[in-house]
Amino acid sequence: MCGIVGYIGEKNAVDIVLDGLKKLEYRGYDSSGIAVVKDGQLQIRRSVGKLKNLEENIEKKHLKANISIGHTRWATHGKPSEENAHPHTDPTKSIVIVHNGIIENYAELKSGLEKEGKEFKSETDSEVIAHLIKKHYKNNLLFAVQETLKEIKGSYALGVICKDEPDKIICARQDAPLIVGIGEGENFLASDIPALLSYTRDMIFLENGDIAELTANKITITDIENNVKKREVKNIKWDCVQAEKEGYKHFMLKEIHEQPRTIEDTFRGRIYPDEGRVYLEEVKLSKEDIKNISNVYIVACGTSYHSGLVSKFLFENFAKMHTEVDIASEFRYREPILNDRILVIVISQSGETADTLAALRLAKSKGCITLAVCNIVGSSMSREADHVLYTHCGPEICVASTKAFTGQIAALYMLALDWACRKESLSKEELKKYLKELWEVPVKVGNFLKQAESVHEVAKKFAHKRDFLYLGRNVNYPVALEGALKLKEISYIHAEGYAAGEMKHGPIALIDDDMPVVAIAVKSRVYKKIISNIEEAKARGGTIILIASESDKTALDKGDNVIYVPDCDEFISPILSVIPLQLLSYYVAVMLGCDVDQPRNLAKSVTVE
Ligand code: M6R
C-alpha cells in the first residue's frame, strides 16, 4: 500500500530516494517523507499531499547525504497529516523508521510505552516500532531491530536507520513486500520494483522473517534469531510499466490477485478465532447503543451497493437486525423515515461518491446514528460519519471495483458477527466457528486464483456473445448483480443480474441458444431451488456457466461449463463466488480489446450527482 525507498552509497541519497518515490506515485498516497543522517544528526522532512510539496520542503539543494529512507503513505491508522506521515522517530531522535503494513498489537505496545513515560507524536501504529527499537538499542541496530520484531505482531515492510550507525540501513519483511536492490558500492531498498529499475536490475526479494543489513558494499540477511539466510539474486527484465502492475497485464488483474492479501489485511488485528473475539477499534457503539437500534439502512452506489445487499443477509441472520438496502441516489430523493434509533451505514470505496455522501448528510440531519465503511482514510465520509470501519484494501486503481467489494463484505461480516455476539443472538461457540471460517477465506481465495486459467478457457468460448444473464439466489443474488455489472462496465456487453426465482416472471423469455446463463449454485439452503431454475433455463436452450462448490459431484450434469470454488459457509460464499465472475469479465474484455482499466464513460470516483 505505502511506498518505501532507501539508499546507501556514494551518491546523493536524497535525489535517489525522491526519484524512487516518484516511480511509486501511481499507487496513490496522501503524504510523504524522507530521513537522512547528516553530520551525525537525523534530519527528517515530511509533507502532506504531492511529492512536490516534500521536494519544496526539503530545499533539495541543501539536503545531501549518503544514506536515506523515504516513504509515501496511504493512511490506515490515523488521518493523512504531517504528524502521521512517515518517517517516525523515537523521542530522542536517534532511530528513524518507515513502515508499510499493520501492527496488530500496537495499542497494547503503545500503552506499555506510555506507562514508561514515552510520548507519542502521531496516531499511527508504526510509531511504536521506533520507540521499541530505541528501547532495545545498545550500540547494535541489527540486534535492536531483531528484539523489537519479537514483540511485534502483524505485517511489516520496514526500513530503519540510526544516527549513531550511519553506515547501514536495516530492513525487514513480514507479509508485506520488500526488495533489496544490488549496486556497485551502493545498495537500495524498495517496496516495489519500479522504484529501483533506473538504478539496478539485480534484486533480492526478501522473504517473510528476513532481516537485511545493507551497507554500501555488503548485504547480509538474517532472521530474528540472527541465523544467516541465503537468498537468490534475480535479474528483472520488466520495463517500468510492466513493473507497476507487478507483471500483470492490467491493474484489474493485479487487484483481483491481491484479494487474498487485502481480505487478510481487513481481518488483521480484528478477529481472533481461537478466543472468539472481534475487535473493531474504530466502531465505538456500546452494547446498549446496539440494542437500541431499531433498523439498519445500508446506502451505497454501484459495487458498494451490491456489497450492501450481501450485508443485509449478515445483519438479519446473525445480528437479527431489520435491515434495508438502498441506492444512494434513490434514498436521498424519497422521504425515508429516519430518526435517532436508526443506524445508517454508508459503504464507499472512495468515501467521496456524491450521492452516498449526500445520503450520509441527510441521515445526520435527521439525527440517525451513522457509520461509514470506507477504504480511504480521511475521506469525506470517514470524517463526517459518527463511526467508521475501514477496509484495508490499499489503493484500487482500476475503475472497475474488485478488491473493494470483497473487503467491504469482509468488514461488514466482522461487524455483524460482533454485534450478534453482543446482542447474544450468537453464542460464543458459534462465533468461534464463523470466525474460523472467515480466517480461512484468504487462503481459499488464493487457492482458487491458482486456477484462474480455467476461467480464461470459459471466457474464450463466450467472448463473442452480446447478451448474458446472471442468476443467483439469496446471499448470492447480489453476486449475480455484481457479475453482470463487471461484464457491462469493462466489456460493454449487455448483461442482467436476476434473482433466479424471478426468472419465470419475465426474463425467461429472453433465453434461447444464443444466451449464456451464468448461475451461482454453490452449496446453500437454496441450492435445490436454484438447480430447478437452471433446469428451466436449460430447457429453453440456454447455455449454462455454473459456479459450483468444489464438493458438488453432480455439478457437471447441471452446467455445460463448470467453475468450481472452494466450499465454505453459505454466508461467506459471496467472497468466493464473485472471484470467477471478476475474472470472466476481465478475460472477455481483454479478448474484445477493451480498455480494461479505464472503461469508456466511467470515472473511478463519481463526485458529481
Ligand atoms: O467509491 P464508491 O465505492 O462509493 O463507488 C461506488 C461506485 O461508483 C463504484 O462501485 C462503481 O460502480 C464501480 N465502477 C464498479 O466497478
Residue 25: which of 283, 395, 291 has the closest Cα?
Answer: 395
Q: Whose CA is closest to atom 12 on ligand 1?
A: 302
8 Å CB contact between 380 and 357: yes
Q: Which three cell numbers stand for residue 38?
A: 547528516
Mean pLDDT of all residues in 486-500: 96
Q: What is the pLDDT of residues 214-238, one digit of tens each?
A: 999 999 999 999 999 999 998 887 8
Sheet holding 186-190, edge to edge: 41-48, 31-38, 67-73, 3-9, 186-190, 179-182, 202-205, 234-235
**C-alpha 313: how far from chain center:** 23
Q: Whose CA is closest to atom 11 on ligand 1?
A: 302
8 Å CB contact between 347 and 320: no
CA–CA gap between residue 437 and residue 423 (Å, rounded): 21
Pocket test for ligand 1, best of 251, 298, 301, 595 (most atoms within 8 A of CB): 301
Q: What ligand 1 atom has the least distance to the C-alpha of 404?
A: 3
Element (H, E) at 449: helix 428-449
pLDDT score, position 605: 77
CA–CA gap between residue 314 and residue 325 (Å, rounded): 12
- Per 3-state DSSP, the chain is made up of helix, strand and coil in percentages (nearest 5) of 40, 25, 40
8 Å CB contact between 543 and 515: yes
**Residue 61 in this model has a pLDDT that exceeds 60:** no
Distance 376 CA to ligand 1 centre (A): 13
Backbone angles phi, psi at 173, to 5 degrees: -135, 135
**Residue 558 in this model has a pLDDT that exceeds 80:** no
Range of lowest pLDDT (2-11, 132-141, 418-427, 598-607): 598-607
Distance 378 CA to ligand 1 centre (A): 18
CA–CA gap between residue 428 and residue 422 (Å, rounded): 10
pLDDT score, position 76: 79
Residues having CB within 6 Å of any atom of ligand 1: 301-304, 348-350, 353, 356, 399-401, 489, 602, 605-606
- DSSP letter at 413 equals H
Mean pLDDT of all residues in 262-287: 92
The 3 state secondary structure assigned to 333-365 is CCCCCCCCCEEEEEEECCCCCHHHHHHHHHHHH
CA–CA gap between residue 273 and residue 431 (Å, rounded): 8
**Residue 137 in this model has a pLDDT that exceeds 90:** yes
Task: Identify the residue whose cell numbers are 530492513.
Answer: 171
CA–CA gap between residue 453 and residue 194 (Å, rounded): 27
Q: What angle do CA 243, 245, 246 make, to 5 degrees?
A: 60
Q: What is the pLDDT of residues 277-308, one digit of tens each?
A: 999 988 999 999 999 999 999 999 999 999 99
Pocket test for ligand 1, best of 251, 346, 353 (most atoms within 8 A of CB): 353
Mean pLDDT of all residues in 155-173: 96
Distance 443 CA to ligand 1 centre (A): 26
Residue 352: which of 385, 323, 312, 325 has the closest Cα?
Answer: 385
Distance 402 CA to ligand 1 centre (A): 10
Q: Which residue has the higher pLDDT, 593 or 395?
A: 593
Q: Whose CA is closest to atom 7 on ligand 1?
A: 302
Q: What ligand 1 atom has the least distance to the C-alpha of 605?
A: 1
What dihedral angle (degrees, nearest 10) is formed by the CA atoms of 575, 579, 582, 584?
A: -150
Distance 545 CA to ligand 1 centre (A): 26
Q: Which residue has the higher pLDDT, 354 or 161?
A: 161
User: Average per-residue pLDDT in the chain?
Assistant: 93
Distance 505 CA to ligand 1 centre (A): 29
Distance 478 CA to ligand 1 centre (A): 15
pLDDT score, position 60: 55
Distance 389 CA to ligand 1 centre (A): 17
Element (H, E) at 497: strand 494-499
Q: What ligand 1 atom has the least distance to the C-alpha of 356?
A: 4
Tell me the percentage of the chain whose pLDDT exceeds 70.
99
pLDDT score, position 556: 75
Q: How would residue 470 be classed by pLDDT, with cut points 50, 70 and 90? A: very high
Environment class of 233 (CB within 10 Å of its CB; exposed 0-12, middle 13-18, buried 19+):
exposed
pLDDT score, position 554: 87
pTM for this model (two decimals): 0.84
The catalytic residues are 2, 604
CA–CA gap between residue 399 and residue 488 (Å, rounded): 13
Residue 347: which of 318, 399, 306 has the closest Cα?
Answer: 306
CB neighbours of residue 340 within 10 Å = 12
CA–CA gap between residue 161 and residue 601 (Å, rounded): 47
CA–CA gap between residue 124 and residue 214 (Å, rounded): 26
Pocket test for ligand 1, best of 348, 349, 490 (most atoms within 8 A of CB): 349
Q: What ligand 1 atom has the least distance to the C-alpha of 402?
A: 16
Q: Which residue has the higher pLDDT, 64 or 267?
A: 267
Q: What ligand 1 atom has the least distance to the C-alpha of 302?
A: 12
CA–CA gap between residue 25 and residue 544 (Å, rounded): 43
Q: What ligand 1 atom has the least distance to the C-alpha of 401?
A: 16
Task: Reduce the DSSP state of residue 204 to 3 states and report it.
Answer: strand
Radius of gyration of the chain (CA): 25
**C-alpha 370: how far from chain center:** 23
Q: Are strands 156-162 and 95-100 parallel, antiparallel or unpaired?
A: antiparallel
Q: What is the pLDDT of residues 563-572, one digit of tens each?
A: 999 999 999 9
8 Å CB contact between 522 and 473: no
Range of lowest pLDDT (84-88, 280-284, 361-365): 280-284
